[in-house]
Structure 1
Amino acid sequence: MRFPAFLLPCALLAAADRFPVPPAPAELAAPAGAEVTATGLASMVLRPGTGDRPGAEDLVTVEYTLWTPDGKVLDSTARHDGPLTRPLPRLLKGMAEGLQLMRTGEKRRFWIPPALGRPGGVLILDAELLETAPSPYKAPADVAGPGEGARVLSSGLALRVLREGKGPHPTHKSRVQVNYTGWTTDGRMFDSSWKTGQPATFALDQVIRGWTEALQLLSPGSKARLWVPEKLAYRGERGMPAGMLVFDVELVEIL
């Protein structure tokens, strides 16, 4: 799973184009009719959307292409393995601000000033907002204990599938990629893969027992909420939270 190029040091942004990407727009400078925010971000709607606008910390799924002021492609989802999904705070400032102006299904062109992008001139961004979801950092309403629809297993682990995936299940020896956030039962977040910008990779026999058991019940693309009793979690290990822990886990891929 890649890390978005526009979040990496500028020295790493010079990779040659490997896949076809959209050509640079004719408007390398914002046209007179563009909408301009107080921060200097200019934009133009290319196709209206009809869904909700994301909040400042929401999770968004987007297709995008980013160009330099001379029309060179800086980054594009066309180069990679599908749309980008990230919390808004993990994105380039101008992109995060711009996506909050959009509705789901909308496509918009932005001209991002250096203060919201990077030194060296205005960046041009075409973005299509495909989907929004609540912030992955926000504790769920049922964080204190298994909510409606949760399945309690004989081990004491409780699980509720939030989204069904497709394909085979991993085994206890599989290596997997997952996105996750973990909370204590009072709603305090103690860890999240979303903070690093990329999924976590590990072998299922090298994590807490609750994860080993739960992830073998999921297929790639699945998302589940886990209530892991202390005996299947960290069991008082130094520096780790005690008691029952709650995780939202998405199985991205079996490696």
Structure 2
Amino acid sequence: MRLLTKVSLIAATVLTLSACNKEAEQPKPLVLDTDTAKQSYSLGVSAGRFIDTTIQEHEKLGLPLVSETIVRGIQDQLAGKAQLTEEEVQKVMMALEQTAREKQVEVAKAQAEQNVAAGKAFLETNAKKEGVKVTESGLQYEVVQAADGPKPAATDVVRVHYTGTLVDGTEFDSSKERGPAQFPLNQVIKGWTEGVQLMSVGSKFKFTIPSDLAYGERDMGTIPANSVLVFDVELLGIGEEAPAEEAPAEAK
């Protein structure tokens, strides 16, 4: 999370000057006709966007910040009239960062617990759908398009097309535009290693992978902790063939 302590002095200065111009009774018309003007304005926009985003991030954690007071603090500092000593400022900012970290942990924990419940409900419902089979490990799969080709072993390199989504339908990755993915089957998540071995070359399967066969409690950025993952996979071939991209990051 980006905290206010990371705002540079230059960005803060630009923001202050912009605020002062806005408050003036007769602001000078802004003309962006030189590289210097455009660079200066862009820096101000960047600083304003940064602070706005920071305020929003803190609000999500239940830590409201006031933009007007932030600007006033910048103005007072530049005028040499800061109402808090440097020691006091550092103490307050350290406390804010600590509180923000603690809030982030709380939010992540709550979200992870919600994902467990949502994933369990999704798996129970999906398992009852016609055509869905469940393996001993809990992996769910559906044969979308059958084929009579060979099946890979866990030690084989496979080539696939795939699309991965969360249970709410959010797509987090796809090979459709980048081209086929190629990787050793035993170097990806358990759900992939087990599931793709059930496929024949030329077939298309839909896998619903419980979180314990995916990333478990790990948060993988676009994939929250304890997420059930859904993959549409087409097995194109077995054995290395160049060119092809490496294993999808979401399957490692």
Q: Normalising by structure 1, report the TM-score.
A: 0.42
- Which protein is richer in strand relative to its size? 1
- Which protein is richer in helix relative to its size? 2
